[in-house]
Amino acid sequence: MASDLFDPENCCQIPRKTESGEDRSAHEIAREIGEFAGPGTCRIDTAGPLDATFALKVIHAIKGPARNLILPLQLEAVFHKGLIDEAARAGCVGIELRREGFLRSALGNGLQASTDEQQALIMSLRRARGLGMATIMDLELGVAGDDEGVFERTMQFLRQALVAIPRLHQNEKNVSSLMTAENRQNGMDWLHNKLVRHREIWRRSLWPSGKTRETMAAGYRQRKETPLETRGHYTTTMQILCALNRRRKTSRRQAMLPVAPDLQQQPPKAWLEVRAASDSTLRTLDVAVAGTLDLRGARKLLERVGEALQSGFVHVTIDFSGLEWVSLEVINRFVEENQVRFRAMANQAKLVNLQSTVDALRQQLGDTEAVQLLAAAAPARVTA
């Protein structure tokens, strides 16, 4: 196996500022990078990551190859294709990013997921690896705004983005109020144990081409440094959040009704998106429903809410403000079939922002028995 190029102890820090606190020019930094001849890596030591403009200035100022250079970049800089191309062409060994901006909320809370931006980041990170560079991600987890699902969402993100070297951290000065200290430590242990398994190390090392041997060496160093007792377990809350936070296709065979007048001339959306966030200290669960609700989606949602209440959550709030279309079968079959379950959950499950849906259905179908049943199933019909 190759030597561990990414061992922090073998990293030479090139200062961004002078001893008096003034910014050094790109040419000064580039000259020092060009003179580096150590066995490990060199990294620009800066209080904050570099923006794309300054990083490009440094790369262009380097005379010769940027031997074993790690570039600490702002998250937005990775979208700059010219910068990533130039960094790879100059011989940079890797780019270093951290959790900031939209990624903080996208990983931390299921209700605030930034799907489009996160997908663009994933593709940019995969592209950087395809150009032959390692991607290093410093992730501070369990911070303010994070719920217990942050650990599994982070695992999924790291897998999708093929991050070569993930580094996990906790900030004791900025802890999340949405989970207990025990939940937070368990989640960190669970995620760390997942990342140092043989399968995960080989998976992020062997494909695609970005520093395969060096990535594997770094992975096994992390595995060796992990205490045997660091296990962690997959909690019920993590399981419920994973099951709820889904986007899936809806049935095209069912008749759909719009819940807003301006949607009548548009085709129904072909997806249902459910987002959820938990508060493990108060044992509450917030769920948001968007898109088109078909019969299967309604049944799955009711099933997951029932599982959450059985697992110990004392209150569940379901927000229908994002609902645009609803299947006629949900009105005619689902509501009638589950009247008893709705009444049993009435004290623990609150349905909000459903009044507009009931009013829209009443205008289209009249004050039918099915609409009356739906209204009765949602006694809390005020906007939260």
Element (H, E) at 11: strand 11-15
For position 383, what pLDDT does the model report? 39
Show the tokens assigned to 378: 């949602």
> How would DSSP label each residue in 320-334?
EEEEEEEEHHIIIII
- pTM of the entire predicted model: 0.90
Show the tokens assigned to 213: 């041997």
Computed over every residue of the chain, the mean pLDDT equals: 89
Burial of 12 (0-12, 13-18, 19+ CB in 10 A): middle
Residues 202 and 191: their CA atoms lie apart, in Å, by 16
CATH label, 8-225, candidates 3.80.30, 1.10.287, 1.25.40, 3.10.20 = 3.80.30
| Identity of the residue numbered 255 | A
For position 362, what pLDDT does the model report? 85
Residues 343 and 346: their CA atoms lie apart, in Å, by 5
Q: What is the pLDDT of residues 55-111, one digit of tens each?
A: 999 999 998 888 789 999 999 999 998 999 999 999 899 999 999 999 999 999 888
Q: Do domains 8-225 and 236-377 have the same CATH topology?
A: no
Query: CB 144: neighbour CB atoms within 10 A?
Result: 12
Residues 112 and 109: their CA atoms lie apart, in Å, by 6
pLDDT surpasses 50 at 381: no
Pairing mode, strands 69-72 and 94-98: parallel
pLDDT surpasses 90 at 315: yes
pLDDT surpasses 70 at 115: yes
Tell me the backbone φ, ψ of residue 142, rounded to 5 degrees.
75, 20
pLDDT surpasses 90 at 313: yes
For position 80, what pLDDT does the model report? 92
What is the number of residues in the chain?
Answer: 384
Residues 94 and 69: their CA atoms lie apart, in Å, by 7
For residue 96, what are the contacts with CB-CB under 8 A and spacing of at least 6? Answer: 43, 49, 70, 71, 72, 73, 136, 137, 138
Pair 330, 294: CB distance under 8 Å = yes
For position 342, what pLDDT does the model report? 84
For position 344, what pLDDT does the model report? 86
Residues 24 and 17: their CA atoms lie apart, in Å, by 5
DSSP structural state of residue 139: E
Band of residue 377 on the pLDDT scale cut at 50, 70, 90: low
For position 355, what pLDDT does the model report? 82
For position 382, what pLDDT does the model report? 40
Residues 119 and 106: their CA atoms lie apart, in Å, by 11
pLDDT surpasses 60 at 169: yes
Comparing 126-135, 167-176, 204-213, the range with the smallest average pLDDT is 204-213
Comparing 42-46, 202-206, 217-221, 339-343, the range with the smallest average pLDDT is 339-343
Q: What does the buried/exposed string (b/e) look like for 37-72 if buried means 16 or more CB atoms within 10 Å of the residue's CB?
A: eeebbbbbebeebbebebbbebbebbeeebbbbbbb
Task: Give the residue-averaged pLDDT of 300-320.
Answer: 95
Burial of 383 (0-12, 13-18, 19+ CB in 10 A): exposed
For position 2, what pLDDT does the model report? 56
Pairing mode, strands 271-279 and 246-249: antiparallel
What are the residues facing 13 on neighbouring strands?
Answer: 43
182 vs 347, residue with greater confidence: 182
For residue 253, what are the contacts with CB-CB under 8 A and spacing of at least 6? Answer: none
Task: Give the CATH architecture of domain 236-377.
Answer: 2-Layer Sandwich (3.30)
For position 277, what pLDDT does the model report? 96
- Domain-wise residue ranges, the chain: 8-225, 236-377
Q: What is the pLDDT of residues 227-275, one digit of tens each?
A: 877 789 999 999 999 999 999 999 888 888 898 877 777 888 889 999 9
Pair 87, 62: CB distance under 8 Å = no
